[in-house]
Each structure stands twice: as C-alpha cells, then as structure tokens.
Amino acid sequence: MRWLLLILACLALPLRAEEVVLGLSQDQVSISTNFDGSEIIIYGAIKRETPIPQDAPIQVVVTIAGPQAPITVRRKDRVLGIWVNTDAMDVSAAPSFYAIATSAPWSEVLNEADDLRHNVSIPRRIRSIGAWSQVANPQEFIDALVRIRMENGLYVLAEGAVDLRESTLFNTAIQMPANLTEGEYETRVFLTRGGKVVSKYETSIEVSKVGLERWLFNLSRQQPLIYGLLSLTIAIAAGWGASAAFRLMRSG
C-alpha cells in the first residue's frame, strides 16, 4: 500500500503538484507622449497540495516577450575603401523585446531539452528558416542580432534576478525600455526542478500607444495623404506665424 502511494505521488508530481499563482504590477503599458520606459513587477506564490519535494531546489524563470516580427540582419564589409552593407540574412521571426529573469544561474534552472520544448532562452526565440541559403555563416548573424539587442536593452538575461523565498514566494522586476513596439507581450512563468519544467503559467501584458500617439500613428497609416497634408499645414502655419511674430517684435 505504501509503495502504491509513492508510485502515485511520483506520477502526480509532473502534473499539477506545484502551481503558480501570479500577480503583475500592471497588465497594460500605455505609450503616451512622455513615455520613457516602464518597470513591471511580477510577483507570485507557488501553490502546493503536497509537502515540498526535497529532491532538487525549485527554481523560477520569468520571461516577457514582445511581438514576433521578421527582420533583416546586415553585415558591413569594406568595398572600394568604404564600409558598405554587403551580406544580409532574413530572420523569419524574432521578438522585438525579450527579457528573462531567473532565480539561479542559467545552467542550474533549465536543461537543454526543456529549453527546446518551451523556447525559453534567447536564441530559441529567434527563428531563422532558410538562413543557410542566404549567408555562409548564419550563426554569426544571429549572435550579432542578440548582441545588438542586448546592448540596446531589448534582450535581457538577468540570472538570479528572481527573488525566491522559502521555495514559495517569488518576485522580480523587469525593465521595459522606452523604444517599445506595440502588441501583446507574452508573459510566462516556469517552475523548474533539476533543470526540468514542472509547471508553467502564461498571461499577457498589452502594450499600446494611447492618446495623441495612437491618433497620429493611425492617421499616418490609414490616411497617409491627410497626414501628409496636415504636416504641411502645421509647417506652413508655423512658418507664417514665425514671420508675423518677427515683424511684430521689430516694429514693437
């Protein structure tokens, strides 16, 4: 009987033995005119129906991913003495923003098989189908993409940034930069033990332009002619206004 219980417990373990209860400081980011980045605080608890398993410590991985978009990575080379874009590689999908926060060094939180399954690490999020036919060394281009975006704060790997207390409560803060694109930001929390994912929770944060930003952007895409004419009208009005003001100042 005792053996049977133990087997049952083992079978139940990979299912919902430990679950995430999540809170977000905000589930919506509004890009208004004075937007200069946003800090999202992600906090939560691990819910358990059973005692804490003792085999390996629990770890938490939090990811936030911006909308996927195709991009082109170009490399400069020296042609006739000047530096020119020569090779280019199309990346079929890369997130515009991707942040990972973990509760321990990367090698301790996730093994390669589960990374492959859940697409967690930064290189796993970048899909480059058919890249081999375009350039000789696609890996170099993907590395460059990751490097540039990391320098710009668009891709972040913060090891140990998740604060985990008593294997139960966790919290982390993820900084979103000022140059964000709009869209649904997929937010995921993984609980891992010994590198294996034991539980996963997904939600999303909506990032959108609001107010004047929204209005101008929509107008420029939907009514480009009217937008162009409006820009010209503003320019001419400003030019005329300036000229009139100068005359007033000189005569006055």
Partner 1 sequence: MQIYLPIAEVSVNAFLLLGLGGMVGVLSGMFGVGGGFLMTPLLFFIGIPPAVAVATEANQIVASSFSGVLAHLRRKTVDLKMGTVLLIGGLIGAALGVAVFNYLKSLGQVDLLVKLCYVVFLGVIGSLMFVESLNAIRKTRSGAAPKRKKHNWIHGLPFKMRFRTSGLYISVIPPVIVGILVGILAAIMGVGGGFIMVPAMIYLLGMPTKVVVGTSLFQIIFVTGFTTLLHATTNYTVDMVLAVLLLIGGVVGAQIGTVIGAKLKAEQLRILLALMVLAVCGKLALDLLIQPSELFSIGTAGGH
Among 50, 72, 137, 139, binds partner 1 (CB under 8 A): 72
149 binds partner 1, rule: CB under 8 A: yes
| Strands lying side by side in the sheet with 196-209 | 28-31, 196-209, 183-193, 58-65, 98-102, 155-158
Q: Which stretch binds partner 1 (CB under 8 A): 9-17, 51-59, 141-149, 155-163?
A: 141-149
75 binds partner 1, rule: CB under 8 A: yes
Nearest to 92 by CA among 120, 125, 62, 61: 125
* Pair 176, 38: CB distance under 8 Å: yes
**Would you say 16 or 147 has its CB closer to partner 1?**
147
Q: Return the residues of window 201-240 that contact partner 1 according to CB under 8 A.
A: 209, 212-214, 216-217, 220-221, 224-225, 227-232, 234-236, 238-240
In 138-182 the beta strands, taken as DSSP E runs, fall at 155-158, 163-165, 169-176
* Pair 59, 43: CB distance under 8 Å: no
| Minimum separation from the CB atom of position 251 to partner 1 (A) | 13
Please state whether beta strands 18-24 and 38-48 pair in parallel, antiparallel, or not at all (unpaired): antiparallel
- Residues in contact with partner 1 by CB under 8 A are 31-37, 69-78, 81-85, 88, 90-91, 141, 144-145, 147-149, 178-179, 181, 209, 212-214, 216-217, 220-221, 224-225, 227-232, 234-236, 238-243, 246, 249
